[in-house]
Amino acid sequence: MKNFEYVRPTTVPEAIAAAAKPGAVYLASGTNLLDLMKGGITRPDRLVDVTRLPGLDRIEHLPDGSLRIGALVRNADLAHDSGFARSYPAVAEALLSGASAQLRNAATVGGNLLQRTRCGYFYDTASACNKRAPGTGCDARGGENRLHAVLGWSEACIATHPSDFCVPLVALDAVVEIEGRGGRREIALEAFYRLPGDTPERENLLEPGDLIVALRLPAEARTFAAHARYLKVRERTSYAFAVVSAAAALRVEAGKIRQARLALGGVAAKPWRARAAEETLAGADPTPAAFRRAAEAALADAKPSGDNLFKIELARRIIVRAFTLAAAGTPARIAALPASPFASVSGALQDA
Amino acid sequence: MNLSISLTVNGARRDVALSDPRVTLLDLLREHLDLTGTKKGCDRGQCGACTVLVDGRRINSCLALAVSHDGADILTIEGIARGDQLHPVQAAFIAHDGFQCGFCTPGQIMSAIGLIDEAQAGDDPERVRECMSGNLCRCGAYAGITEAVLEAQQTLATVNQRRSA
């Protein structure tokens, strides 16, 4: 690991000033950053430790009915907050389906939003990668790419965003609060991420010194609590990134879908909101045929970036399954294997 | 750069002067404090061999910068027995053959202690397996590990009941 200067500011303005310099990065828990630094993928000159900044580790209920989650709230604490899991069950399920218990105990909300792709060529410094070293090319294009993007990718980059947490967040219109040199601003999480285009190294809208201080879920997000699921297919049932995942949420009134929300993980460089699919479900009966139509709409623009044509049909089936589970009702307790489409007991139903 | 930190490790205060900010909590324990019970497996947060409790929570010490944990309370495998009396999780791992080569065992045991304290798994073996998925065992002692965790949890619950009675 390259050496670096370590600084630990005590206020947000000090942190922003310290991180605005070239080569500086923020350190929270470091569960992704240290891994990247050990591999030489990220080589910062200065680490600005934000873990002691005051006031960023709170979960607050705001007067307008929204929920404000401090950037330093740990993934496990958020997922196991009983009020949170009741109001935003798909978000809690997504959190518990990611990483391991040890990592969830350490990893922060803000860090989760900023984790980097797990593309093997991004991680291998001997490979060409436009994201890691702009202009060098993309070895993933002609390489092992069965897990790569099928939506929103470019010739420059076919990597996917690895987060589970961000998928239901995008479906529920989460907003990111950012403090920077120009003061405070907020951006919808969906708009916060950029698609790769010709500049895959620019993954989001953060400017030098910008610090994510909180995440907000609007009041409307909890109106989906009775019918919200996160479903994730992975190559191992636990402690693995998504091949494809979906967050599906419904507001059902008198047996009809009033409103639907859908976002996909593992398919693009950002958590992928599928608004066209949502529109097909407004006013519809919650039937398998309706969910299949929604799935077709969600993947209408999908195309393989390599040996990953299978992910398109897999995504459609995951969408149908996630909506079917959501329509059946959010279970009282998160399943033993969170977000898994596979039963924990042979022959049993997934949520039995 | 001279970075002085103070930690409580297994109940004792330890002051350490670091000459390099790159030292992980894992390397601090092993190389600076000679506590080699905590193992370095992958060193990248994938295997769980380096699991310790920091302020009561299990984490991967290989992905934690020591300097960022100034003031923390650390519990390692060396700090859980009382003299010759094994911790109930240690005893249960022996009783249920929860290991073969033993390399992953300190991490498995610290992870199990964290899991029991988190109280999310209950007596469901599937939830125990899910909550232990951050600890790999190349010998494949998983069946014994799951039994050991369930039994130790029961033992600790009984001990706690007696204490509060």
pLDDT tens column, A13-71: 999 999 999 999 999 999 999 999 999 999 999 999 999 999 999 999 999 999 999 99
Q: Which amino acid is at A289?
A: A
Residues A302/A272, Cβ–Cβ less than 8 Å: no
List chain B residues with CB under 8 Å of A6. Answer: 1, 3, 21, 65, 67
Whole-angstrom distance, CA of residue B44 vs CA of residue A208: 27
CATH number at residue A44: 3.30.43.10
Q: Output the average pLDDT for chain A.
A: 96
A184 in a structural domain: no
A166 in a structural domain: no
The pLDDT value recorded for residue A260 is 98
A40 in a structural domain: yes
Entry field: residues in chain A: 352
Q: Min CA distance, B78 vs chain A (Å)?
A: 19
Q: Is residue A342 less than 8 Å (CB to CB) from chain B? A: no
A175 in a structural domain: no
Q: Min CA distance, A131 vs chain B (Å)?
A: 21
A89 in a structural domain: no
pLDDT digits 0-9 by tens, A211-230: 999 999 999 999 999 999 99
The chain A residue lying nearest B128, using CA atoms, is: A336
Residue A153 pLDDT > 60, yes or no?
Answer: yes
* ipTM given for this complex: 0.97
For residue A252, the Cα-to-chain-centroid distance in whole angstroms is 25
Over residues B73-94, mean pLDDT: 98
CATH number at residue A272: 3.30.390.50
Residue A106 pLDDT > 80, yes or no?
Answer: yes
User: CB pairs below 8 Å between A and B: how many?
Assistant: 98
pLDDT-based confidence at residue A345 (cuts at 50, 70, 90):
low
The pLDDT value recorded for residue A342 is 86
What is the 8-class DSSP label of residue A181? T
Residue A350 pLDDT > 60, yes or no?
Answer: no
A274 in a structural domain: yes
Whole-angstrom distance, CA of residue B32 vs CA of residue B63: 17
The pLDDT value recorded for residue B163 is 87
A246 in a structural domain: yes
Closest Cα partner for A230 from A95, A103, A112? A95
Whole-angstrom distance, CA of residue A195 vs CA of residue A214: 23
Give the residue numbers spanning the domain of A25.
5-52
The pLDDT value recorded for residue A217 is 98
**Domain B3-79, classified CATH 3.40.50.2020, yes or no:** no
Residue A352 pLDDT > 70, yes or no?
Answer: no
Q: Which amino acid is at B47?
A: C
Across A81-90, A283-292, A343-352, least confident range: A343-352
Q: Where are the domains of chain B?
A: 3-79, 88-164
**Domain B88-164, classified CATH 3.10.20.310, yes or no:** no
User: Can you give the C-alpha Rg of chain A in angstroms?
Assistant: 20
Q: Is residue B118 less than 8 Å (CB to CB) from chain A? A: yes
How many structural domains does chain A have?
Answer: 2
Looking at chain A, the whole-number percentage of residues with pLDDT higher than 70 is: 97
Across the interface, whether the CB atoms of A102 and B51 are under 8 A apart is answered yes
Residues A138/A156, Cβ–Cβ less than 8 Å: yes
Q: Which helix (H) or strand (E) holds A102?
A: helix A101-106
Q: Is residue A223 less than 8 Å (CB to CB) from chain B? A: no
A268 in a structural domain: yes
